[in-house]
Amino acid sequence: MKIGDILEKLMAFIYDKYNASDVFKSHGEHASVILTRFTRESGIRLGDAGAQLEYMRLLLRLGWIDIVTSYD
């Protein structure tokens, strides 16, 4: 599967999870949690932890996601 296809599926997954969860909307979600759920639910293997985070970095560079920090 091409990286672009995986990114689209990952973005759709994040979008669906975001829209289904008030907690996600209010507080966000850790990248590792999103990636673990995506791999488990989609069956798409993203490689080791470094490779998984690179997918999130690509989404960030493309402007598809934002990093939100909290100082609570």
Note the pLDDT tens digit of each residue in 7-29: 899 999 999 999 999 888 888 88
The answer to which of 14-18, 23-27, 31-35, 58-62 has the lowest mean pLDDT is 23-27
Summary mean pLDDT of the chain = 86
pLDDT for 72 equals 56
Q: How confident is residue 71, by pLDDT bands cut at 50, 70 and 90?
A: low
Reading the block at residue 55, the tokens are: 């997918």
Q: Are 46 and 35 in contact (CB under 8 A)?
A: yes
Tokens 């909290």, residue located: 70
Write the burial class of residue 33 (CB in 10 Å: 0-12 exposed, 13-18 middle, 19+ buried): exposed
Reading the block at residue 22, the tokens are: 């008030």
End-to-end CA distance of the chain: 40
